Amino acid sequence: MEAEMDNQIDAILGLGTNLGDREGFLKMAVEHLSNLGKVTRTSSLYETPAWGYEDSKSYLNQVVVLKTSLTPSLLFKEIKAIESAAGRVVSRVSDNYEARTLDIDILFFGDTILHSHDLIIPHPRLQLRKFVLVPLVEILPDFPHPELHRSAAQLLERCPDDSEIKKYS
């Protein structure tokens, strides 16, 4: 089993859900993530349309910062277990986007750049997605993308996504 890291690193995670008790799934995710380290920041919840496919059910999205001593691959494994506990079923029939009870993406892991078969950090499409960038900019507007060399706020300014992102109340 892969060992934990000696130092704690800020993992920036994107959470999303559009099935079932959306607020409940996000709350459950943050609670479970707290068992993997310390959740130090959470954005507001945002209601967003489906991205990459058509769906009548809107998403709730949130960005959280988790200070953790886990390695990226061990964190990824734990995230998959949290998604599974929320009832997420990943379709093996298609690589297309689909509705889900819970999706957790590692957006950043400190300034780590990782390209492996199972995991790419920073998340390869975050600069294209307002549903990630809007909550990210709320809590970390100056966070630098280690590959694109732009802050989160600069990425949002240049984002081609024209989706309507609304704060959820």
Catalytic residues, which ones?
Answer: 88, 100, 103, 105
Structure tokens at 14: 């994107």
What pairs with residue 150 in β-bridges?
none
CA distance 156 to 87: 31
DSSP letter for each residue of 20-43: SSHHHHHHHHHHHHHTTSEEEEEP
State how far the Cα of 51 lies from the Cα of 120, in Å rounded to an integer: 19
Which residues are CB-neighbours of 119 under 8 A, at least 6 positions away? 72, 73, 76, 106
Closest CA to 27 of 38, 12, 42, 37: 42
